[in-house]
Amino acid sequence: MLVTGLEILKKARAEGYGVGAFNTNNMEFTQAILEAAEELRSPVILALSEGAMKYGGRALTQMAVALAKEARVPVAIHLDHGSSYESVLKALREGFTSVMIDKSHEDFETNVRETKRVVEAAHAVGVTVEAELGRLAGIEEHVAVDEKDALLTNPEEARIFMERTGADYLAVAIGTSHGAYKGKGRPFIDHPRLERIAGLVPAPLVLHGASAVPPELVERFRAAGGEIGEAAGIHPEDIRKAIALGVAKINTDTDLRLAFTALIRETLGKSPKEFDPRKYLGPAREAVKEVVKSRMELFGSVGKA
Ligand code: G3H
Ligand code: 13P
Ligand code: ZN
């Protein structure tokens, strides 16, 4: 069933588990994510970035909304990193039930003003909103304290930001970053900062850049001819700790991309004569589904639908 992001996340934060927001750009990822959720009886958030909306157009958005409505578990269709009011309106028109407005690169007052404007529009049509405060930068342990402070979410500012904007959930910067190269190979998560934020902000918190970049997946990608440098992700134990402290929404894209591409490379490498796309997209879809399932187990959302 199609529900708002807040409906899923309020329960998650209250009960101390996390819900995965998984990015999709096509049919195979959408099916893999929704099938995993149904098989494990887990709520799920299907995330579409502006790039995804451009790539997949209405074929993607309408497929996502239709499948979410039919699903036997709660599903929210979410705009990931909406960059403008216009972009949010487009998602609202497409039937999304959750939107993110990301003005984290702007100054505090601009972020407040722009986020508030989006909250008013989204709430008017019953859609809930994610906002972001702080910069998502890969941080290493030895980075100086004041340098960390300048980038990462300030707990007191977070409290004021949420009160002034009326946003429903907050993406925090605590050391994670997007992609396969986090924290120059030694990612650092600022759990004490997260604990202070969670103490001041009762809303569900969101962790971006949370992929694990599992070494076995990286190795599989390499073995199949893929080229990737010193990849590193967030350790599962750090994710578990973050959930215990108040993170309710955990974003994962990179791990799914890696699994999908590794399997396509592997299949085509083994069968150079194959040109039926179903023969390599099928196993790739299965690999995405397996990764989604293992993330749901880690987040503790299994059986929570
Ligand atoms: O945070 C970004 C997501 O991984 C989506 O990436 O903008 O390349 O679709 P994208
Ligand atoms: P990863 O690149 O770690 O998968 O993060 C994805 C994300 O935050 C999407 O918004
Ligand atoms: Zn993100």
pLDDT above 90 for 141: no
3-state secondary structure of 130: strand
3-state secondary structure of 131: strand
**260 or 137, which is more confident?**
260
| pLDDT confidence of residue 48 | 98
> Residue 12 and residue 4: Cα distance in Å, rounded?
13
pLDDT above 90 for 142: no
Strands annotated E in 1-60? 19-23, 44-49
Q: How far is the CA of 22 from the centre of ligand 2 (A)?
A: 8
Ligand 1 atom at minimal distance to the Cα of residue 178: 1
Total domains in the fold of the chain:
1
| pLDDT confidence of residue 118 | 98
Q: Is residue 97 part of a domain?
A: yes
pLDDT, average across residues 42-49:
98
pLDDT in tens, 206-216: 999 999 999 99
pLDDT above 80 for 139: no
> Residue 51 and residue 56: Cα distance in Å, rounded?
8
Instruction: Note down the domain range covering 80.
Output: 5-299
pTM: 0.97
- Quickly state the pLDDT bin for 136 (edges 50, 70, 90): confident
Partners of 249 in beta bridges: 19, 206
Q: Is residue 18 part of a domain?
A: yes
pLDDT, average across residues 278-301:
98
- Tally Cβ neighbours within 10 Å of residue 10: 18
Is 80 a catalytic site residue? yes
| pLDDT confidence of residue 74 | 98
For the chain, the average pLDDT equals 96
pLDDT above 90 for 185: no
- The tokens for 252 are 């994962």
pLDDT, average across residues 266-273:
97
| pLDDT confidence of residue 56 | 98
| pLDDT confidence of residue 226 | 98
Whether ligand 2 lies within 6 angstroms of the CB of 253 is answered as: yes
- Quickly state the pLDDT bin for 144 (edges 50, 70, 90): confident
Q: Is residue 222 part of a domain?
A: yes
Query: By percentage, how much of the chain surpasses pLDDT 70?
Result: 100
| pLDDT confidence of residue 137 | 77
Amino acid type, 299: F
Task: Choose one of 176, 178, 260 to mutate for the ligand 1 pocket test, by most ligand atoms within 8 angstroms of C-beta.
Answer: 178
> Nearest ligand to the C-alpha of residue 256?
2
Q: How far is the CA of 272 from the centre of ligand 1 (A)?
A: 31
Q: Is residue 23 part of a domain?
A: yes
pLDDT in tens, 228-269: 999 999 999 999 999 999 999 999 999 999 999 999 999 999
Q: Is residue 210 part of a domain?
A: yes
Whether ligand 2 lies within 6 angstroms of the CB of 49 is answered as: no
| pLDDT confidence of residue 94 | 98
pLDDT above 80 for 5: yes
| pLDDT confidence of residue 187 | 81
- Quickly state the pLDDT bin for 223 (edges 50, 70, 90): very high
Which CATH number belongs to the domain containing residue 251 in this structure? 3.20.20.70
pLDDT, average across residues 221-231:
96
pLDDT in tens, 80-98: 999 999 999 999 999 999 9
Q: Is residue 305 part of a domain?
A: no
| pLDDT confidence of residue 138 | 72
Q: How far is the CA of 43 from the centre of ligand 1 (A)?
A: 21
Q: How far is the CA of 210 from the centre of ligand 2 (A)?
A: 6
Nearest CA to ligand 1 atom 6: 49
Buried b (16+ CB within 10 A) or exposed e, 145-182: eeebeeebbbbebbbebbeebebbbbbbbbbbbbebbb
Task: Choose one of 23, 50, 206 to mutate for the ligand 1 pocket test, by most ligand atoms within 8 angstroms of C-beta.
Answer: 23
Task: Choose one of 24, 79, 81 to mutate for the ligand 1 pocket test, by most ligand atoms within 8 angstroms of C-beta.
Answer: 81
Q: Is residue 304 part of a domain?
A: no
Q: Is residue 155 part of a domain?
A: yes
